[in-house]
Structure 1
Amino acid sequence: MKMIRNGYQDYEYLRLADKAGHAAQARAVANGLYPSMHVAAPSPAAIENARIRLAALIGGAGS
């Protein structure tokens, strides 16, 4: 259940970054974590870093 909730929250981060006008940067963050369907095992630290970067985009610090 925790993984499902985290996935949903990550999707919301991406959507909010898109709404804030940072779609390209948000996509770059996502593609950095998951470069292909066959390479999908980022470290927990990489995931947390991506969340921090997305939060900065949403908050306006990533402009």
Structure 2
Amino acid sequence: MIEYAGAPQGSFQHYFPGGKDQLVGEALLWAGGFATERVASYARGAVATLTIGTLEGAIMFARV
């Protein structure tokens, strides 16, 4: 990974003194947070859409 990133070995050791285990742990925490925010964002949009749809349905029903 260090070769792929073109980063010096010292940078890896500085930012991840726990080595590969720490790197993997940090990556999993980041990915988990990213996935959680994506699901929450989707859920917020779904609730907003449901609310707007429900309001439109009520208006259409009231016009009948």
- Decide which structure has the larger Cα Rg and report it: 2
With normalisation by structure 2, the TM-score equals 0.33
Between Structure 1 and Structure 2, the one with more helix by share is 2
With normalisation by structure 1, the TM-score equals 0.33
